[in-house]
Structure 1
């Protein structure tokens, strides 16, 4: 067992990380180390109960030493950061600097956590491949028109830092650029429809004519990451099932759920910094597309491996919408 290659998975209980873990559970030639902030948490205990092949290691993205220890001996690392987890913790508001909004603090912290992943990985002599989950550099690909896409640009900034300061590990890195989560239509109040009589009411933001890339993150991420670990480094891959305009996706959901669909402009009780962040992101996508004109982006079919991602419609039809809408 000890001679088998080891993959260390950051965010192993999250949407992307759990998909990577599940994929490697089906690959018996690899050992799996799942990183968690607390080995005594219910989610960490569930991992150990799921399979004896999962080693749970305690690590904090704010602590480089803990990451270095958790990465030790890894042949491959999957790295991911999460802006939304940072700003969902109300206790973090005490850490905001003067003149800084909470979302700006969250983006700053996400940048640092991304830097920490690369710094810790740079100290792992066994490492052959790091796959880092990132998003589009909106400031760059909009030519400076949209500069407040905080939780997109934060990941891009961390990558730029890695390229400059840790060239050895960056040379072993491939980048997964995740599309919009299909799971948002079940979990995120900005996307999840409201049932009113015989109609599903969807928010009309993001429903322009530009197609969006959609991914079922909990199902699809693992197969793409596995491909990136097996292929040569330096790839930047658009992780998605297919491109579809938002209005067509909501129509698919309405049909699967058995309701007519209405689009309405909805207001959410968001602070101004998050409203500005989302407005920049949706403005960018509707004007420039999800990836802008980034020539380095490769589509999944260009990898030359079979991924079996399915379609958006496949995912929509597989959901229990009666439970989601009435639960």
Structure 2
């Protein structure tokens, strides 16, 4: 009798990171695993497409602890992720014009923290669990000595600290950091704008062009390779090890140059005062830029702030087989 396949449960399976994990497991290890997709909307077209591929699709809201425990039950591995930006946008809709916009960030932080801890507790309650992946970011406040605390970093760091306080779960955990998305250049306040009078694109930002950055490229295409590679090396990767998922290091100006080459256009990076930038764009631009300023603050150190972390080299990933940053930019509309 054939051995039962190990169940790998993927939260956010219809999103960029979770969807990429599912894609890579299907392509490389589907014969070894039963993939279980956790989604809020099992009746969506994306969820139905997963079911058509033979994937188990289960419904669970990340605020529903009972549903999460049921979704994780029997899992060998769980990939857990949250979406701060979706929570932030939803919170903004609830904030009236006369209220401080920082309340939206506070609400998103509180909810994302709750969701992350809910998943950690569900993982703790899963007696079959051997490997837990938590998609997080660096502890900005600690790394910068209290100089920076972007909300979308802080909420994830709170969950990371919670996991580290649970030795039983920490022993099974791999922390995964996903670097700068290529699709960020499609956001309104980041996207280069064409000026016919000078025949080129201008990208206006509040951070300097020489700021170092690491980029994952196309998240949906590339991110899952890091989780899949870690999954088959549990003894090397668990125990609170950190995987930094990126395919190329550059600068913000360097990324714009790659973007311009991908589209065969001319482009110039222009830095303006942060107050001017924030007076022009909505609150989400402020929140995103706080994260960019973190990279600037720690430019002479590792953004991660960790003594050690694992990259594609350590995991044995051939990044030439992944989508390059240039090819990822080429997919974006001008």
TM-score (norm 1): 0.87
Say which of 267, 280, 283 aligns to 1:261.
267
Task: Go from structure 1 to structure 2 and tell me whether the alpha carbon gap of 1:320 and 1:142 turns closer, same or farther (over 3 Å shift).
Answer: closer
TM-score (norm 2): 0.86
Query: Could you tell me which residue of structure 2 aligns to residue 123 of structure 1?
Result: 125
Say which of 216, 226, 229 aligns to 2:228.
226
Kindly indicate whether the alpha-carbon contact (under 8 Å) linking 1:36 and 1:44 is maintained by their aligned counterparts in 2. Answer: yes
Query: Could you tell me which residue of structure 1 aligns to residue 17 of structure 2?
Result: 16
Query: Could you tell me which residue of structure 2 aligns to residue 284 of structure 1?
Result: 294
Output aligned runs, 1:88-127, within 5 Å. Answer: 88-89=89-90, 93=94, 101-127=103-129
Kindly indicate whether the alpha-carbon contact (under 8 Å) linking 2:21 and 2:223 is maintained by their aligned counterparts in 1. Answer: yes
Q: Deviations over 1:171-220 (max 9, x none)?
A: 100011111111212x3223322233331221233434232010021112
Query: Could you tell me which residue of structure 2 aligns to residue 191 of structure 1?
Result: 190
Kindly indicate whether the alpha-carbon contact (under 8 Å) linking 1:86 and 1:106 is maintained by their aligned counterparts in 2. Answer: yes
State how far apart, in whole Å, the 2-side matches of 1:209 and 1:318 are.
21
State how far apart, in whole Å, the 2-side matches of 1:312 and 1:230 are.
18
Unpaired runs of 5+ residues, structure 2, are none
Kindly indicate whether the alpha-carbon contact (under 8 Å) linking 2:258 and 2:325 is maintained by their aligned counterparts in 1. Answer: no
Say which of 248, 253, 270 aligns to 2:282.
270
Task: Go from structure 1 to structure 2 and tell me whether the alpha carbon gap of 1:292 and 1:79 turns closer, same or farther (over 3 Å shift).
Answer: closer
SS in 1 for 2:49: helix
Q: How many corresponding residue pairs?
A: 313
State how far apart, in whole Å, the 1-side matches of 2:132 and 2:77 are.
6
Say which of 23, 40, 45 aligns to 1:42.
45
What is the Cα-based RMSD across aligned positions, in Å? Answer: 2.5
Q: Deviations over 1:218-242 (max 9, x none)?
A: 1121110112222221210111012
Kindly indicate whether the alpha-carbon contact (under 8 Å) linking 2:215 and 2:247 is maintained by their aligned counterparts in 1. Answer: yes
Query: Could you tell me which residue of structure 2 aligns to residue 310 of structure 1?
Result: 320
State how far apart, in whole Å, the 1-side matches of 2:89 and 2:229 are.
32
